[in-house]
Amino acid sequence: MTRKSNSPYSDKTKAVVLTLLAWNGGNVKVTATQTGICRASLQNWRNGKKVSMSALEMAEEYKEDLADLLEKKVYRLTHHMTEDKMVDASVGELMTAATKAIDKMLLLRGQPNRITENLSDEQYVDRVRELLERARARAIAAGAIDAQSGHGKLVSAEADAAPAVVSGFTP
């Protein structure tokens, strides 16, 4: 006989909250403040306790979907930086937006979001170029940009749309 959960939170809610927790870099206090869910519950869910495998799997899907959207956004932002005509934003504003999106993308994928090694300026530039090329290749593979022209295929509404699971909170 399957035991019924006493939790007032659905698997979908837990998955969304776990996605937000990843977005916040694992910061339980911030996530508890944003959601109104007690820290103990968040810590349990993060540690795989009192949360179903279904909710954990949904959270992983949500995080990857959101990370993919951010990666497309980063490509679009960096693509605009290299064009002759700039959008209304300055290069600094575009770089700041790209940096924030990359940081969140890495957090959602469980990857390090800080450089912990000392790099020369040349090594740093090479690493950034490598990451941008990898993002471009992924965008081509995902159909977000045309491989021949290098131009984006997404319209603004599609690129800016957040997945339904994370609507309602502002990062």
In this prediction, residues 38-48 reach a mean pLDDT of: 94
Residue 3 lies in a domain: no
Token digits of residue 73: 């956004």
Residue 73 lies in a domain: yes
93-138 tens-digit pLDDT: 777 777 888 888 888 888 877 666 677 778 877 888 888 888 878 8
* Residue 38 included in any domain: yes
**Does the structure show a pLDDT above 60 at 154?**
no
User: Is 168 part of any domain?
Assistant: no
- Residue 50 zone, left/alpha/beta (φ > 0; ψ -120 to 50; rest): left
User: Per the domain annotation, does 69 fall within a domain?
Assistant: yes
Beta bridge partners of 152: 145
Confidence of residue 169 (pLDDT cuts 50, 70, 90): very low
Asked if 165 contacts 12 with a C-beta cutoff of 8 angstroms, the reply is: yes
Specify if 5 maps to a domain.
no
Q: Does 127 reside within a domain?
A: yes
Entry pTM: 0.55
Range of the domain at 124: 11-160
Please give the residue that has the higher pLDDT: either 58 or 87: 58
The helix/strand/coil state of 145 is: strand
13 pLDDT higher than 80: yes
CA dihedral 103, 108, 114, 115 (to 10 degrees): -100
CA nearest neighbour of 89 among 81, 152, 145, 171? 81
pLDDT digits (tens, 9 = 90+) for 71-95: 887 777 766 655 544 556 676 777 7
* Domains held by the chain: number: 1
Lowest mean pLDDT among 38-47, 56-65, 123-132, 162-171: 162-171
The answer to whether residue 170 is domain-embedded is no
The overall average pLDDT reported for the chain is 76
